[in-house]
A and B are shown apart, each in its own frame.
Chain A
Amino acid sequence: MSWLIKSSIGRKVIQSISGLFLILFLLFHMSMNVVLIFSHETYDFLANEILGANWWAIVGTLIIGLGVGVHIIYAIILTLQNWKARGRDRYASKSKTPVAWSSKNMFVLGVFIALFLIVHMYQMWYQMQFKDLFGMEGVRHDGAQLVVDVLSQTWVLIAYVVAFIALWFHLNHGFWSALHSVGWNNDIWMKRLKRLGYFVSTLIVLGFIVVAIAVHFGYSNLLA
């Protein structure tokens, strides 16, 4: 299996599979967030009893962490190798080849997402699962209230929306590109995959942003 890391196509497969895995995770995460709008109680139940510091939630967290880690490491490897392959001398004239903006800016978009992830992990995961695991002071079990506290700050909401717009662009290209990288594409499927990519990225991003805005303006826990 060493071809996975030794060949260009293998490295793209790693990037693709980790990216697709993260998309699946985000779909799940987004659905969970939507629960907040309806009931804080249900959300806390899901967060503490179903997830929380249970062994399966910890294993899940580790797998997701691994997915993010692999994706970022390979993003850096691919980008550096490609930078080198371009050669030391660059064109003086700016490229006029029309291509999708997001496809050229995957790394920059990823950096925005990663910066947000750091803040996000500190504000949420560190306060809940991490502190719980290591028996630290100030561990929060009232996940829903924590979300409300954090998102009531305007700068957090703005950072949140900006990061998810970056994610939207990242996935517009990422979704079909990932399937293309593992060989699932042809002239007919290209259009379908691109459209499906728009749909999936819009669904994920809209889900997260709508919940964030609703929580910020106090429209959550509506069924309580």
Chain B
Amino acid sequence: MDKDINIKVKVWRQNGPKEKGRFETYELKNISQGSSFLEMLDILNEQLVNDGKIPVAFDHDCREGICGMCSLYINGHPHGPDGEITTCQLHMRSFDEGDTITIEPWRSAGFPIIKDLVVDRTAFEKIMQAGGYVSVNTGGIPDANAIPIPRDKAELAMDAAACIGCGACVAACKNGSAMLFVAAKVSQLALLPQGKPEAARRAKSMVAKMDELGFGNCTNIGACEVECPKNISISNIARLNREFLKAKLKD
């Protein structure tokens, strides 16, 4: 049964990218366990505004687990203690009366802090721009059914395509590595005939961009897979390694 609970939240506050940050602890009374985690933060911000203080900045958009905008490292887990969901899908029933909840931004050299809990994830955008697409070649529109795709390949490609690019993999990784993200983005296309012609170039340039932007070397710890809200498997990382090595050996 959902109750109303009294909690404390310990939130990272940082005025700007270069400022020094600190934790602030706030008390919240009568939070319904039926409310979502972000609604709880909305209530906190209303309280702060009413007190004449500056509200906490945090990222969010769709609030239904598809856009990848929400982040937050909650009590030692990216996207909080509940499995296979994003922060916006997290509910207060994961917490109890009297809990102190620690809320931090993603921490990684590749994701610098902009303000409070908001980090700059344009690095992912840049990696995508380096090759995470299929070039559009104009001409007649081909019939989708004209290209046969084995069912298992289609399934694996769909699983990889579930990645919403939220960055939880990087946030969870002791090495600050973006390999799960890049692996998903390379795999979703490498598995399909449409992605094949550019597969080698894609793997090489996306990995090069990832390295250039300062993400770490993957040591196959697997924390990324555990915390991924979309259950992207690290088997994709093996596939990325394969694609990359194949491309390099062919050169």
Which residues of chain A have a CB within 8 Å of any CB of chain B?
3, 6-13, 78, 81-82, 84-100, 103-104, 106, 173, 176-177, 180-187, 190
Contact = CB atoms under 8 A, between A and B. Distances in A.
Given A93-B76, A96-B75, A173-B220, 12 more contacts: A8-B217, A9-B240, A82-B216, A85-B177, A86-B109, A86-B216, A87-B108, A87-B111, A89-B107, A93-B102, A95-B77, A186-B239
B81 A89 contact: no
B21 interface: yes
Contacts of A89: 21, 107, 113
19 contacts: A3-B248, A8-B177, A12-B241, A82-B216, A85-B216, A86-B174, A88-B109, A92-B12, A92-B23, A93-B76, A95-B76, A106-B219, A180-B220, A181-B220, A183-B241, A183-B242, A183-B244, A183-B245, A186-B235
B116 interface: no
Interface secondary structure of B, over-half rule: mixed
A90 B174 CA distance: 10
Contacts of B220: 103, 173, 176-177, 180-181
Contacts of B234: 180
Interface size class of B (residues with CB under 8 A): 35 or more
Interface stretch (B87-95, B194-202, B222-230): B222-230
Contacts of B215: 8, 85
A94 B76 contact: yes
Closest A-B pairs by Cβ, 5 of them: A183-B242, A85-B216, A85-B176, A96-B76, A82-B175
Given A86-B109, A91-B76, A104 B244 contact: no
Nearest to A106: B219
B221 A93 contact: no
B226 A99 contact: yes
A160 B120 CA distance: 49
A94 B109 CA distance: 18
Task: Tell me which of B12, B77, B238, B243 has the highest count of chain A C-beta atoms within 10 A of its own C-beta.
Answer: B238
B176 A184 contact: no
B107 A85 contact: no
Given A7-B208, A7-B211, A97-B76, A177 B238 contact: no
Contacts of B245: 9, 13, 182-183
A78 B175 CA distance: 9
A8 B216 contact: yes
